[in-house]
Amino acid sequence: PGGAETQAQNNTSMQKVKYAIAVASGKGGVGKSTVSVNLACALQRLLEEEGKSGIGIMDCDIYGPSVPLMLGAAGRPEIANDMIVPIENFGVRIMSMGFLIDEDTPVVWRGPMIMKTIQQFAQNVDWGELEILVIDLPPGTGDAQLSLVQTIPLEGAVIVTTPQPAAFNVARRGARMFDKVDVPIQGVVENMSYLETPDGERQAIFGEGGGAEIAEGLDTELLGQIPLDPSIREGSDRGIPIVISDPESPAAKEFTAIARQI
């Protein structure tokens, strides 16, 4: 009976979402949220060009819900008809545990409690009509992530990694997780791929080839390589993603090229 009920709730929340895609990583700090946020904004811009709208982002990262900050969104979401209403900025509908939990709550205490509520949370958001929902998963590939991807009907997943070959195992574990729930991996995004010096030389600060290697190992595409660029971090810190603030920058163009493949 529990299953049926879950399914029903699921339908209410995700009914008008045409396409849900998860952004995952084997570990934290690789830029998963940065990629999620910039992809959501790039997708929104692409839709806008077609005279359409309807992009959402769901931040499921409980240990560091950074999406609201990165998108300059704050406040408490409203509740209407027992559903949480997303907060919108840059034309993107945003929902995050960050809107709901107190920053001062200790992470050790939050963990187990929120892992349970996060599933409910995922089912109780009134997204309205959405073309694409980008879901920023918590970093890692453990049980919590697995139960989340089982809760949300996903069309595909994107794996974010850094270029060092050592990251291979972690990303592969992520891939197995999606395999278990029959969600196709749409590709790999390699982040912090290189630093471009003023004379145009590309320095491989974090090594090379990791993204391509993982994509090959998973039998999927390398969707793109995002440079290491201080303005990406600055944009996130001031709540205006680089795709919005500087759409002609190489990083923004790469995010847009990746969005086109989704």
Q: Which residues are annotated as a binding site for ATP?
A: 26-33
Size of the site for ligand ADP (CB under 6 A): 18
d(CA 119, CA 149): 9
Contact segment (CB under 6 A) with ligand ADP among 12-20, 93-101, 163-171, 224-232 equals 224-232
- Nearer to ligand ADP (CB atom), residue 124 or residue 253: 253
Q: Which two tokens stand for residue 12?
A: 């209410």
By CB under 6 A, the residues from 231 to 250 that bind ligand ADP are 232-233, 236
HSE-up of 23 (CA within 13 Å, CB side)?
32
Smallest distance from ligand ADP to CB 145, Å: 13
Q: Per rule CB under 6 A, is residue 28 in the interface with ligand ADP?
A: yes
Burial of 119 (0-12, 13-18, 19+ CB in 10 A): buried
Alpha helical stretches, state H, the chain: 2-14, 32-49, 67-70, 97-100, 107-123, 143-151, 168-180, 210-217, 230-237, 242-245, 250-260
Q: Per rule CB under 6 A, is residue 34 in the interface with ligand ADP?
A: yes
Q: Which amino acid type is present at position 58?
A: M
d(CA 91, CA 89): 5
Selected binder of ligand ADP within 26, 42, 45, 66 (CB under 6 A): 66
Estimate to the nearest angstrom the gap between the alpha carbon of 261 and the chain centroid: 15
* Residues in contact with ligand ADP, shown as a per-residue x/- string from 158 to 197 under the rule CB under 6 A: ---------------------------------xx-----
By CB under 6 A, the residues from 115 to 154 that bind ligand ADP are 139
Contact segment (CB under 6 A) with ligand ADP among 1-9, 111-119, 201-209, 230-238 equals 230-238
Residues of the shown chain interacting with ligand ADP in the complex, contacts defined by CB under 6 A: 25, 28-34, 66, 139, 191-192, 226, 228-229, 232-233, 236
